[in-house]
Amino acid sequence: MDEEKNVIELKGIVKDYGDFRLDKVSFSVPQGCVCGFIGQNGAGKTTTIQIMLDSIKRDEGEVFLFGESIDGKSEILKQDIGVVFDEMGFHDFLTGKDINIIMKNIYRDWDEELFFDYMKRFSLPIKKKCGSFSRGMRMKLQIATALSHHANLLIMDEPTSGLDPIVRSEMLQIFREYVVEEDHTILLSSHITSDLEKIADMVVFINGGKILLSGYKDEILQSHGIVKCKKDEVKTIDSEYIVYREISSFGAEVLVTDRSKIHKKCPDLLVEAPSLEDIMIYYVKKNGRL
């Protein structure tokens, strides 16, 4: 059996800014996987991505991309990475044609034909200045650029924030197509968990610079549960499974890590399947940041 190859591997990343600290961030993303990187604003997603891209120096830890340490090799490794940020990054006076000229002199494997195909597919005018583009068009332009040098890893930092549901859906479709072809990998940072629920294979939760939870999305969703019960029934739940309990005058809601075990032990309790958003909120509450 083939060993699972990690495209992204972070080991004990520490970055201290004084008022904010990335605290021993470790996770890995296997090849061919869509990994949702979830966290509220200011949780440390962008900082982690920038460390991954070697644009920020880390204080401690190691970063491996495609199985190789980025130290001294980031320039070569980045040839194989497509990056999409929340802002377009291109100057308003540039046209699609201009961007093509710039990019073909930056990326070794830049595919001009593929770029113009994407532009056509996304209905982006080639000769129009991108300053006149809508937010959705700007994002599509970034995606077209990120995909046109045959990158094997796509790193996206909040690409769908601020977009209307139709454009978001279109973009998710593009990401799906990207991962279907060959062994492409995506790291998708977002706080819009509904998008990640649709597309992600695995998720990594970050909060206050610490990784709270990481693993395969289906396993996380299947194992976790929200117990809805009366206040006095909370005591019957084994505390080792409790992530966070919220008690109000009407009753209690408890997020548990093992839904099936709770169901077996307390069959009378109502245990519901949580959404990624529920899980994220409860974990954040547990860490006292909400």
Interface positions with other proteins (CB under 8 A): 17, 20, 47, 50, 53, 55-57, 74-79, 81, 83, 85, 87-94, 98, 101-108, 155
Angle of helix 96-104 relative to helix 135-147, nearest 10 degrees, comes to 30
For residues 198 and 200, give the distance between their C-alpha atoms in angstroms, rounded to a whole number.
6
Q: Least Å distance between CB 286 and other proteins?
A: 26
Cβ-based nearer residue to other proteins, 105 or 132: 105
Tokens of 167: 């454009």
| Residue 34 to residues 175, 180, 203, Cα–Cα distance (Å) | 9, 10, 8
Amino acid at site 118: Y
Cβ-based nearer residue to other proteins, 129 or 263: 129
| Closest to 47 (Cα-Cα) out of 277, 280, 207 | 207
Q: Least Å distance between CB 104 and other proteins?
A: 8
Looking from the CA of 255 toward its CB, the CA atoms found within 13 Å total 20
Tokens of 15: 């970055």
Q: Least Å distance between CB 68 and other proteins?
A: 14
Cβ-based nearer residue to other proteins, 92 or 272: 92
Looking from the CA of 160 toward its CB, the CA atoms found within 13 Å total 26
Backbone angles phi, psi at 179, to 5 degrees: -80, -20
Q: Least Å distance between CB 247 and other proteins?
A: 37
For residues 112 and 97, give the distance between their C-alpha atoms in angstroms, rounded to a whole number.
10
Q: Least Å distance between CB 226 and other proteins?
A: 35
Cβ-based nearer residue to other proteins, 4 or 87: 87
Q: Least Å distance between CB 55 and other proteins?
A: 3
Cβ-based nearer residue to other proteins, 64 or 90: 90
End-to-end CA distance of the chain: 44
Q: Least Å distance between CB 54 and other proteins?
A: 8
Are 155 and 85 in contact by the 8 Å Cβ rule? The answer is: no
Tokens of 32: 């061919």
For residues 128 and 145, give the distance between their C-alpha atoms in angstroms, rounded to a whole number.
16
Cβ-based nearer residue to other proteins, 108 or 176: 108
Cβ-based nearer residue to other proteins, 83 or 269: 83
